[in-house]
C-alpha cells in the first residue's frame, strides 16, 4: 500500500556529485521495490555542469572557463545534453511505476507534470524536440529519462533565474551536429522563466507549482519526507565509488568498471531484506 507522492527537497548544492549519486540511489532502490511510493525530488546545484552519459566533457564544456569559475563537472547516468547549474536552475526528478517500454513514452507522459506546473505559474508551454519544454518559442527546460524494470525515471532542469552569461560561456554547442539530427533551432534559444513571466518568482512558489503539477498528473496526495538511512547508505557508496571518480566524470568508464560498487550495494541490501 503506497501513501502517495513522496516529495524530497533534500539537496547538497555545494556538492553536485552527491546530488547525482542520490538521484541514482533513489532510482535503483525504487526499481528493486524497496522504495514503494512514487518520488518527486526537487533540488539545486550551486555551480556545476552536468553532462549526459554519452557526452565528452572536452567537447561539451569550455574546461578553461569552468576552471576559472570553479564549476564542477559531473556526469549523470541518463543521456541528453550538458546543462549549467546554479541556484537559479531548479532541478526536478520523478520516479514512478509504469508499463511504458520506451524512453520516448516516458517523455510523452511525465513531461505533462512540469507543463502543468508552468501553466500554474502563468506560462503556456509545450514539448518540443522530444524532451525539451518550450514557452514563447524559447527553451526553458531540458530533460533526460531512463527505465529499469517497471520503474520510470525522469529528471530535468528548469531555467528560472540562471546566469545566462555564464551558461553561454561554459557550454559548447555544436549547431551543425544537432541540426543533422533534426533538432529544431529552439535548442539554442533559451530563456528564463522569470523573464517570460515578467516578475521574480520565489523558491517556494516554484516548489508549490511543481508539486501540484506532478501530484495532479499522478493522482497522488503529496507528502514531504527526507531520505532514509538506507537511501543515504546507497548514495554514499555510489558517491565515493563512482560519482567522485575521474574515470566516471571524464572517461565515461562502462558500468562493469564500477561492478564492485554495485556488488557492495547488493550485499548491503541482502543484509537489510
Domain for residue 161, yes or no? yes
Instruction: Give pLDDT, residue 100.
Output: 80
* Vertex 98 angle, CA 146 and 268, to 5°: 65
Calculate ∠ Cα 243-272-234, nearest 5°.
10
Residue entry with cell 542520490 = 22
Q: Are 29 and 37 in contact (CB under 8 A)?
A: no
Quick one: pLDDT at residue 99?
84
Is residue 269 assigned to a domain? no
Tens place of pLDDT per residue across the chain (273 aa) = 567 999 999 999 999 999 999 999 999 999 999 999 999 999 999 999 999 999 999 999 999 999 999 999 999 999 999 999 999 999 999 999 998 879 999 999 999 999 999 999 999 999 999 999 999 999 999 999 999 999 999 999 999 999 999 999 999 975 544 444 444 444 458 999 999 999 999 999 999 999 999 999 999 999 999 999 999 999 999 999 999 999 999 999 988 999 999 999 999 999 876
Q: Quick check: is 135 in a domain?
A: yes
* pTM for the structure as a whole: 0.93
SS3 170: helix
Q: What's the pLDDT score for residue 271?
A: 87
Please state the domain count of the chain. Answer: 1
Residue 206 lies in a domain: yes
Spatial distance between the Cα atoms of 251 and 253, rounded to a whole number of angstroms: 6
DSSP 1-68: ---SEEEE----TT-HHHHHHHHHHHHHHHHTTSS-SEEEEEE--SEEEEE-TT--HHHHB-HHHHHH
17 located within any domain = yes
For residue 119, give its domain range. 5-264
CATH of the domain at 63: 3.30.930.10
Does residue 213 form part of some domain?
yes
Which residues lie closer than 8 Å to 15 by C-beta, 6 or more apart?
A: none
Residue 226 lies in a domain: yes
**183 occurs within a structural domain:** yes
Amino acid at each position: 500500500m503506497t501513501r502517495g507522492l513522496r516529495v524530497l527537497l533534500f539537496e547538497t548544492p555545494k556538492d553536485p556529485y552527491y546530488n547525482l549519486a542520490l538521484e541514482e540511489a533513489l532510482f535503483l532502490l525504487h526499481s528493486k521495490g524497496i522504495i514503494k511510493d512514487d518520488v518527486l525530488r526537487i533540488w539545486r546545484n550551486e555551480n556545476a555542469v552536468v553532462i549526459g552519459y554519452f557526452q565528452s566533457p572536452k567537447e561539451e564544456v569550455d574546461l578553461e572557463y569552468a576552471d576559472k569559475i570553479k564549476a564542477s563537472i559531473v556526469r549523470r547516468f541518463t543521456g541528453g545534453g550538458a546543462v549549467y547549474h546554479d541556484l537559479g536552475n531548479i532541478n526536478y526528478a520523478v520516479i514512478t511505476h509504469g508499463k511504458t517500454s520506451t524512453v520516448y513514452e516516458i517523455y510523452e507522459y511525465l513531461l505533462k507534470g512540469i507543463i502543468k506546473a508552468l501553466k500554474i505559474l502563468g506560462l503556456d508551454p509545450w514539448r518540443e524536440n522530444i524532451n525539451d519544454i518550450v514557452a514563447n518559442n524559447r527553451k526553458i527546460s531540458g530533460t533526460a529519462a531512463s527505465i529499469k524494470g517497471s520503474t520510470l525515471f525522469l529528471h530535468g532542469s528548469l531555467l528560472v533565474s540562471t546566469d545566462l552569461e555564464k551558461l553561454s560561456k561554459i557550454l559548447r554547442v555544436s549547431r551543425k551536429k544537432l541540426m543533422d539530427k533534426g533538432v529544431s533551432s529552439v535548442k539554442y534559444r533559451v530563456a528564463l522563466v522569470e523573464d517570460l513571466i515578467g516578475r521574480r518568482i520565489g523558491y517556494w512558489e516554484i516548489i508549490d507549482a511543481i508539486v501540484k503539477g506532478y501530484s495532479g498528473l499522478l493522482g497522488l496526495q503529496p507528502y514531504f519526507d527526507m531520505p532514509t538511512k538506507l537511501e543515504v547508505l546507497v548514495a554514499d557508496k555510489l558517491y565515493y565509488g563512482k560519482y567522485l571518480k575521474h574515470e566516471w566524470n571524464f572517461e565515461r568508464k562502462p558500468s562493469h568498471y564500477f561492478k564492485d560498487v554495485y556488488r557492495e550495494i547488493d550485499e548491503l541490501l541482502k543484509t537489510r531484506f
